[in-house]
Amino acid sequence: MLNINFSELMFGMETYGIEQIPARMRHGSPFYQFTLWFSSNLTVADYALGAILVTLGISWSWIWVAVFLGNLIGAFLVGYLASEGPRFGLPQMMISKRIFGDIGNIPFSLAQWISTLGWFSVNAIISGYVLYYAYPVLPLTVYIIVSAFSQMVIAIFGYEIIHRSEFLLSYILGAFFALTLILAIMSRPVLPVNVPFSPTGFAIALATVFSYIMSWAPYASDYSRYLPETTSRIKVLLYAMLGGAVASIWMEAVGMLIGLATGNYSGLPTVLLGFMNRYGILSLTVSVIMIFLGALSANVLNLYSNSLALLTLYEKAKRHWGLILGAVVGTALAIVGGINFVGYFEDFLYFLDYWITPWIGVMIGAILNNDFTAKKANIRLLAAYFLSLLASVPFMNLQTATSGIINFVGPFAIALGGADVSYFVSFTLGLVLVLVFKRLTSSPP
């Protein structure tokens, strides 16, 4: 199990921020990477993705190929970056800072801070709305505040309590969604089997699944940096990868089957609640609690990583004050926006995800090259990043990603029938450019 060293904690609260974790404080097992990424992906976000996949006009077998392939590739990237936590003893944005430089990393830390703040707000709204939907005795605002506060309480205690909470939630949520999956299968939904193969539909499904799970990559080493430096990197990679992939595949299966069983493919949590209500008021009540806990498991990570991203921008800040700031601002956004705000805000956040894949490619390339000596800015790596991002623009379908808010579809996306494969293009090009630039700038022997 995890061991709390109370001699270096304040009232049980983590005292370390973005500084390197000293050897005497390193502890834990790579297995807890599995439980953390498993529980944090047993959420309505993955459930919603599954429901949406059924509407893409591809057969049941090809949906499963996209689900498995997209999740395994995306989770591998998260696992790879998580495996660097024991080596560096630093949160993810601080490793990024060593690679891109103090100034060069500012755009990435800022993007991560905005993204985590946004997702915290969205999940606070969803968890608050689920409570309001089931028990509308209080205003939605009250439920949002209750949700956000409960998530903040766990996050503020830090790394140790987060891992313990996610460990417990992995069993609770796992048991509930195992039952949900069984009930969905027993409902005997009509599966889309006699459907001709659609390359466009498959590409959209693959990119959709991949884009969600890979968006956890900027969080990765935040939750592995306390592991001993001697910890097997392969074990960290595999446990983190399998935790995220298994949970995502599982929840997307639930989303697909319940969508088919109900004929409602919106992916809204109320559809899941309506399905579970078929089995009585107790089933509905438990479902509300589980969806609330699922949002909590993801939002604790959003808020904790938000505070670490802020500290990389302003190192004089204290982690707990940065976390409280994020909770207050995120809750205010949730209250002002309300449930009608979720769709627009999610579109903005999906648009923001475009920064992540070229960043992952450059990060992995730099790690392979042992290139983390930048002080102010690593111009070569920044050039690789922005060139790969720019080159991926013709492959983007912003119209779909933002639900029509940004009316742009790149020429290659048009040629592919609207499929957005820019994530794969920017990642691959970012990785390749780093390796090529390193070779070109290396001194001859």
146-153 mean pLDDT: 97
Which domains does the chain show, CATH number per domain? Answer: 22-441 (1.10.4160.10)
pLDDT at 379: 94
pLDDT tens track for 372-427? 877 899 999 999 999 999 999 999 999 988 878 889 999 999 999 899 999 999 99
104-119 mean pLDDT: 96
Residue 10 banded pLDDT, cuts 50, 70, 90: very low
Phi, psi of 13 (to 5 degrees): -95, 140
- 22, 25, 30, 36 alpha-carbon torsion, rounded to 10°: -100
For 440, residues 6+ apart whose C-beta sits below 8 A from its C-beta are none
Instruction: Please name the helix (run of DSSP H) or strand (run of DSSP E) that holds residue 9, with its range, or none.
Output: strand 9-10
Please tell me the distance from the alpha carbon of residue 60 to that of residue 48, in angstroms, as a whole number.
17
Does the structure show a pLDDT above 70 at 445?
A: no
Other C-beta atoms lying within 10 Å of the C-beta of residue 76: 19
pLDDT at 143: 96
Q: Which two tokens stand for residue 444?
A: 């001859």
pLDDT tens track for 234-257? 999 999 999 999 999 999 999 999
pLDDT tens track for 208-217? 999 999 999 9
